[in-house]
A and B are shown apart, each in its own frame.
Chain A
């Protein structure tokens, strides 16, 4: 067995030393990364659609989604669409969701993680009037329009009439 160990030692050493002299680690990494990325680009690793929507995290949630104290509504100022024939993710029939929107973050009490929430307004009908919710956490004056929720955000719709607001999770925020 001893001669076998010695032979194995010597041949492995010879091979690795030869390899180290002929090649570079950087070259290997480059080729390896190329194979991984190239492979991923040509052959899908999983048979799923990898759109941005698919990558959006689905947090575990607790509470009444039609109640103003629900976690996603921390920065909302308007009528909850869930009380108006829609839901926190969708507009009621007969209204149109504004693609242009205001975006903030809220902490989910279930996992303690901050999520990015998009408060897209539903437009095209008069104010819903149900479940008025004004929490306004993080709201800033209108001279800072990107983070002001007193503005009418029915900006990308055929009608500027405000009906209600959704609260859609679009990503996880980073911990600072």
Chain B
């Protein structure tokens, strides 16, 4: 009986620790969409676009870290689990084609560590990270040239 209860409670915990696309989307609407807009298209000159773009960051370790260290994410009111769920959903929903073949989803531990070290100069860091990636990734170089 006790074993059954343990198994049941473990199953219950597992359900709650499972990523949920609908919850990720609602959290996106409540915490990101006001500025990044419904399709993550951003706003030229004010809000960086994520649609068909944000996946490029995953082509370097610094870029991967940056997506969690960027102030909007690091300082978010969402908890570590919710951010992990949202970021993995966001990458697949808005920019799957730009992800490297070797992409692995963010983990909660990874997010927890990175967001406690926010990037203090996000614009400069973004430019540096992207220009490094673009040196080996022509599709990003084209996208950046288009952005300017």
Residues of A within 8 A of B (CB): 52, 99-105, 116, 118, 144, 146-147, 155-156, 170-171, 173-174
B26 part of interface (Cβ distance < 8 Å)? yes
Chain A residues near B47 (CB, 8 Å)? 100, 156
Whether B34 pairs with A103 at a CB distance below 8 angstroms is: yes
Chain A to chain B contacts (Cβ below 8 Å), 13 pairs: A101-B34, A102-B34, A103-B30, A103-B33, A116-B30, A118-B33, A146-B34, A146-B35, A147-B77, A156-B43, A156-B46, A170-B33, A170-B38
Q: With A155-B46, A156-B43, A174-B23 in contact, is A100–B34 under 8 Å at CB?
A: yes
Task: Tell me whether chain B's interface is mostly helix, strand or loop, or mixed.
Answer: helix
- Contact A173–B26 (Cβ < 8 Å): yes
Report the Cα distance A48→B4, complex, angstroms: 48
B147 within 8 A of A: no
Task: List A contacts of B31 (CB < 8 A).
Answer: 146
Could you give, for residues 13-48 of chain B, a 1 whenever the CB lies within 8 Å of some chain A CB and a 0 otherwise?
000000000110110011101110111000100110
Chain B residues positioned under 8 Å from A101 (CB to CB): 34
A101–B38 alpha-carbon span in the complex (Å): 11
How many B residues touch A, CB cutoff 8 Å?
A: 17
Contacts of B26 in A (CB 8 A): 116, 171, 173-174
Q: Which residues of A contact B43 (CB under 8 A)?
A: 99-100, 155-156
Report how far A148 CA is from B34 CA in the complex, Å: 12
Nearest A residue to B36 via CB reads: A100
B39-68 contact mask (Cβ, 8 Å, vs A): 1 or 0: 100010011000000000000000000000
Residues of B within 8 A of A52 (CB): 38-39
Residue of A nearest to B32 (CB): A146
Q: Are B34 and A118 in contact (CB under 8 A)?
A: yes
Residues of A within 8 A of B38 (CB): 52, 170
Alpha-carbon distance between A173 and B29 when the two chains are bound, in angstroms: 9
